[in-house]
Amino acid sequence: MTTTEKPAGGGDGSDSSELAKFGYRQELERSLGSFSSFAAGFSYISIMTGVFQLFFFGFGSGGPAFIWTWPLVFAGQLAVALCFAELAGQFPLAGSVYQWAKQIARPVTSWLAGWIMIIGAIVTAAAVAVAYQIILPQVSTVFQLVGSDADAGLTSTPGGARNAIILALVLVVFATIVNLIGVKLMAKINNFGVAVELIASVLLIVALAVHVKRGPGLVFDTHGTGAGRPLGYLGAFLVASLMSAYVFYGFDTAGSLAEETTQPRRHAPRAILRAITAAFLVGGLMMLAGMMAVGNLDAQELSTSGMPYLLKSTLGPGLGDAFLVCSAIAITVCCLAVQTAAIRMTFAMARDRRLPFARALSKVSERSKTPVVPALVTGGLTVVVLLINLGNQRAFFVLTSTAIILFYIPYLMVTAPMLLRRLRGQWPGPGHGPYFRLGRWGVVVNLVAVLYGAGMTVNLLWPRAEVYGGDHWYFQWGAVLITALIVVAGGVLLLVRRRWAAGHSGPGPVTG
């Protein structure tokens, strides 16, 4: 594969002229550099959010051996990321997956991909914001505003679930305000948060390594989690793999901010690949070192509280709390990045007259250079999602799983059409230019991306009692039902689109 590119140079002027070739004028503020582009993708993945929030689930489902799901899921998503890197170099446009699907697939495919991604980002923002409950009350019970101290760090109790919603609402309001102010402030906060997360993660790995009590052979310990299952440990392993799947997504955000990034054809592909690779290395070492260092590998708390318990029991309350504070910072910028991606996707589709109320949703503030209405709409809908789950602790796993499914499906809507184009000899085209390309590995990598995406989507949708509970059918089938409802709603909107699009589905005219 090659990563040759045009000579560095150019700037906002040349970037804006390239944008005009796609039929758009420069409205968003183009001010993000290489690190900001990387930070957008990395903060969406956010190791100190996903691992801290969901380690307990992976460990409890598959024992220490669950860590093998980490490299396997990474390999699948890396194949997806490599495909996206090719597309980001060709189509440096706001909206990532929607725009990429629009260029290589049928209009209905791109519309559904964008629609599902918008809903997925809103649900993800809610799921990320809930992670405050896992962290803050374990730093101080002052943050346990409702319920009792026994609910601290838990979403599996009524008091913990209610408190999770309250803390999440505060975070969502903060993220919305920042996104309303503008991309420069968002980038500054995001860059700071990612820097803190990277430094804290490295220091945490070192601190855990100092306390190592057992060798790496623990990665073959299943803790008997396969006992009594029809598929044995394979069944447990497939459930545990959801933890890794919950973390490795959102790297396309670097591409979604292309119209606000300088030299996006150069920076976006690199940012996508660097974000997912850095997350893999940091997260894998963190979990391995943690399991090797924890005092009691059989402690029940590892399957209920997870990483916060591991840190505080291993490093002591003082140092443990310091790293939990860093995790809270990571959660903050993760939620911010998720909402930013939702805003850009909404803006991109509205600009093409492919959403209701397109004129309002595509309007960019002259002062902040940001789409104001999409920020308010996505923030408001995230609040609605949280309030629906108020006090319902069982809904959190449905919420989290649905969020991931709503990304895996649109990812497939890009990688599958891309594979068809490769097999027909239509990708990469003769005008691909000197940008990132997979070369002779393209078909193999693309095929892996499609097979992995399809397999993991089925794994996520599978209505297992171990994930969703078996006492109420609407919980057990919740992810399937919600996903189907969103797809059907998107189909209905697509059928009546001409009423509010005035028969115009392409980009608006280039003006000014």
In this prediction, residues 91-99 reach a mean pLDDT of: 92
pLDDT for residue 10 is more than 70: no
In this predicted structure, which of 44-58, 67-81, 273-287 has the lowest mean pLDDT? 44-58
Least confident of 9-13, 114-118, 293-297: 9-13
Per-range mean pLDDT, top range of 55-59, 147-151, 228-232: 55-59
pLDDT band at 373 (very low <50, low <70, confident <90, very high): very high
In contact, 270 and 39? CB cutoff 8 Å: no
Please measure the distance between the N-terminal and C-terminal CA atoms of the chain and give it in whole angstroms. Answer: 40
Question: Is it the case that residue 501 has pLDDT exceeding 60?
Answer: no
How many CA atoms lie less than 13 Å away from 152 in the CB half-sphere?
15
Q: Are 259 and 28 in contact (CB under 8 A)?
A: yes
Position 2 scores a pLDDT of 42
Distances in Å between the alpha carbon of 96 and those of 28, 287, 462? Answer: 15, 31, 28
Which residues are paired to 371 by β-bridges? Answer: 364
Whether residue 7 has pLDDT greater than 60:
no
Average pLDDT over residues 149-161: 82
Average pLDDT of the residues of the chain: 88
Q: Is the pLDDT of residue 9 over 70?
A: no
The DSSP bridge partners found for residue 437 are 2
pLDDT of the residue at 44? 87
The confidence score (pLDDT) of residue 13 equals 59
**Tens of pLDDT, residues 443-475:** 999 999 999 999 999 999 888 878 777 777 777
Q: Is the pLDDT of residue 335 over 70?
A: yes
pLDDT in tens, 47-68: 998 898 889 999 999 999 999 9
Q: Does residue 493 contact residue 356 with C-beta atoms inside 8 Å? A: yes
Task: Give 511's pLDDT tier (boundaries 50, 70, 90).
Answer: very low
Instruction: Read off φ and ψ for residue 400, nearest 5 degrees.
Output: -65, -50
Among 153, 163, 242, 166, smallest CA distance to 468 is for 242
Q: Which amino acid is at 443?
A: V
Residues near 366 by beta carbon (within 8 Å), at least 6 away in sequence: none
Is the pLDDT score of 507 beyond 50? Answer: no
Burial of residue 35 (CB within 10 Å: 0-12, 13-18, 19+) is: middle
- Provide the pLDDT for residue 390: 64
Residue with the bigger pLDDT between 224 and 479: it is: 224
Averaged pLDDT for residues 69-97? 95
Q: Which residue has the higher pLDDT, 122 or 494?
A: 122
pLDDT of 160 > 50? The answer is yes
Q: What is the pLDDT of residue 4?
A: 37
Does the pTM of the predicted model rise above 0.85? yes
For position 254, what pLDDT does the model report? 85
- Residue 158 has a pLDDT of 82
Counting Cβ atoms within 10 Å, is residue 39 exposed (0-12), middle (13-18) or buried (19+)? buried
pLDDT at residue 152 in the model = 85
Longest dimension (CA), the chain: 67
Cβ atoms 475, 469 nearer than 8 A: yes
CA distances from 293 to 30, 289, 350 (A): 45, 6, 51
pLDDT for 393 equals 58
Give the number of other Cβ atoms within 10 Å of residue 6's Cβ: 13
Concatenated DSSP letters for 378-439? HHHHHHHHHHHTTT-TTHHHHHHHHHHHHHHHHHHHHHHHHHHHHHTT-SS-TT--SS-B-G
Percent of the chain with pLDDT over 90: 57
> Of 74-83, 85-94, 139-148, 350-359, which one has max mean pLDDT?
74-83
- Omega of the bond leading into 92 within 30 degrees of 0 (cis): no
CA 263 to centroid of chain Cα atoms: 24
Closest CA to 96 of 279, 333, 338, 335: 338
Structure tokens at 66: 């669950």
**pLDDT of 344 higher than 60:** yes
